[in-house]
Amino acid sequence: MIGNATSNGHVSITGIGTQAPERVLTNDELARMVDTSDEWIMERTGIRERRVAAPDEAMSDLALPASVEALEQAGVKASDLDLIVVATVTPDMLFPSTGAILADRLGAKDAAAYDLSAGCTGFVYAIAQAHGMVASGLADQALVVGGDVLSRIVDWTDRSTCVLFGDGAGAVVLERVPEGGFLGFELGADGSGGPQLYIPAGGSRQPASAESVAARQHFAKMNGREVFKFATRVLVDSAEKVLDECDVSVEDVDVYVPHQANVRIIEHARKKLGIPGDRTVVNVDRFGNTSSGSIPLALGDASADGRLVPGEMVLMTGMGAGLTWGSALIEWTANGKGGH
Ligand code: ACO
């Protein structure tokens, strides 16, 4: 799916909030848990440390403070929200949705609220969906949360995956604005690649049983080399397609926010696209791959560093389980200027 986003007026991000658990897990600590080393992890992934949720910390516990911060920045009251979309593959529980739990905790009594599952691309899918509802006039104020507590689905005995992932969440408020905002989206899915990154059990195909638990079938399995090839291809393809659709040249991209999976993947994509390193946001070294939390956490970092300036062109591209991918191009606008 590809489209220009301005035909029904302008919609933008008017507030950002982030939340990561306090607990930092270093590479050296991982090297005491599995057969790995700080040197291997740094060289192959660029990840130095990641955050890990406390035993009583679930997805909605990360989503709540991130959402409160985003709403405050936007100057929007939770009770005025029309829509809450939570992009995650690690909801508090299968149902009710984390969106509904979050709506209740925020006091967003008039909001439609649900979860969206698109792997690490979830946040980009969710902003595209919320954008459509706000642009059409169905919603005036939407809250989109992207986040995951991957530490709960990572196999901590599998060195090929456990070194890569971390926990974190980010939230954004979407509203109509007089000008600027989202210019276009490109989203896709290739389900034939599903077995490259999946959790075998716990769904209707293979419900939880003593056998499935004993066989560690409730943990994420990944074919790292295949996902690496896919990631390096789609990050470039998807970005080029959305830029082309919006008639924006890559030289005009001021801030590039790719999915934070691995420094090697990010470096490959930005070089192939021709985006300078100083225009690329990288925080995978501090957070690891936080799935749907990755892009909003990186946006939050860029915002805190003063890198998100109104008028600048921001390109985001995600990719992940599904396999899925998605890009969004936005001309940044000021916080809290929601045209209301
Ligand atoms: N420590 C030490 N050695 C390790 C580790 C580790 N943590 N993990 C694997 N190795 C070993 C392997 O066993 C292998 O040994 P062998 O040669 O004796 O067989 C060797 O290191 C090389 O393994 P490769 O898989 O070839 O290593 P590669 O350079 O490809 O890096 C990595 C692996 C980092 C997983 C890479 O393939 C990658 O980043 N893939 C993409 C992962 C990704 O981004 N996934 C998320 C997608 S988004 C989402 O939705 C979650």
**What DSSP letter does each residue of 83-106 carry, written as one string?**
EEEEE-SS-SSSSS-HHHHHHHHH
Say yes or no: CB of residue 161 within 6 Å of ligand 1. no
- The CA 276 to ligand 1 mean position distance, Å, reads 26
List Cβ neighbours of 44 (8 Å cut-off, separation of 6 or more): 262, 264
Tell me whether residue 289 is one of the annotated catalytic residues: yes
Q: What is the DSSP string of 145-213?
A: EEEEEGGGTS-TT-HHHHTTB-EEEEEEEEEEESS-EEEEEEEEE-GGGGGGEE--SSSSSS---HHHH
Contact call for residues 314 and 324 (beta carbons, < 8 A): no
For residue 265, which atom of ligand 1 is closest to its CA? Answer: 39
> For atom 48 of ligand 1, which residue has the closest CA?
320
pLDDT over 90, % of the chain: 96
Cα separation of 183 and 22, whole Å? Answer: 36
Per-residue model confidence (pLDDT) at position 5: 86
Out of 120, 131, 246, 335, which one is annotated catalytic?
A: 120
Asked if 207 and 244 count as a contact pair (C-beta separation under 8 A), the reply is no
Nearest atom, ligand 1, residue 30 CA: 7
CA of 225 to the centre of ligand 1 (A): 7
For the chain, which ranges sit under pLDDT 70?
337-340
Ligand 1 neighbour 239 (Cβ under 6 A): no
Residue 19 phi/psi, 5-degree rounding, is -155, 130
- Nearest alpha carbon, ligand 1 atom 10: 160
Is ligand 1 within 6 A of the CB of residue 320?
Answer: yes
Global confidence as pTM: 0.96
**Nearest protein CA to atom 13 of ligand 1, as residue:** 160
Mean residue pLDDT of the chain comes to 97
pLDDT at 340: 41
The 3-state DSSP class for residue 222 equals strand
**CA-closest candidate to residue 256, choices 238, 282, 218, 231:** 282
Q: Does residue 261's CB lie within 6 angstroms of at least one atom of ligand 1?
A: yes
Query: Quick check: is 259 catalytic?
Result: yes
- Burial annotation 40-49 (CB, 10 A radius, 16+ → b, else e): ebeebbbbbb
What does the pLDDT look like over 266-279, one tens digit per residue?
A: 999 999 999 999 99
Give residue-wise pLDDT tens across range 296-338.
Answer: 999 999 999 999 999 999 999 999 999 999 999 999 999 886 4
Residue-wise pLDDT for 100-132, tens only, equals 999 999 999 999 999 999 999 999 999 999 999
CB 199 within 8 A of CB 221: yes
The token duo for 248 is 């924006």
For residue 337, the model assigns a pLDDT of 62
Q: Which is the catalytic residue, given 27, 283, 289, 335?
A: 289
Question: How far, in Å, is the centroid of ligand 1 from the Cα of 139?
Answer: 43
Label residues 249-279 b or e (16+ Cβ within 10 Å = b).
ebeebbbbbbbbbbbebbbbbbeebebeeeb
Given 10, 27, 246, 259, the catalytic residue: 259
Q: How far is the CA of 219 from the centre of ligand 1 (A)?
A: 17
Helix 294-304 and helix 122-136, axial crossing angle in degrees, nearest 10: 80
d(CA 168, CA 298): 11
For residue 177, the number of C-alpha atoms closer than 13 Å in the C-beta half-sphere is 28
Q: 3-state class of 299 per DSSP?
A: helix
Tokens of 317: 């591209």
In the numeric block, which tokens belong to residue 45? 């992934």
What atom of ligand 1 comes closest to residue 160's alpha carbon? 8
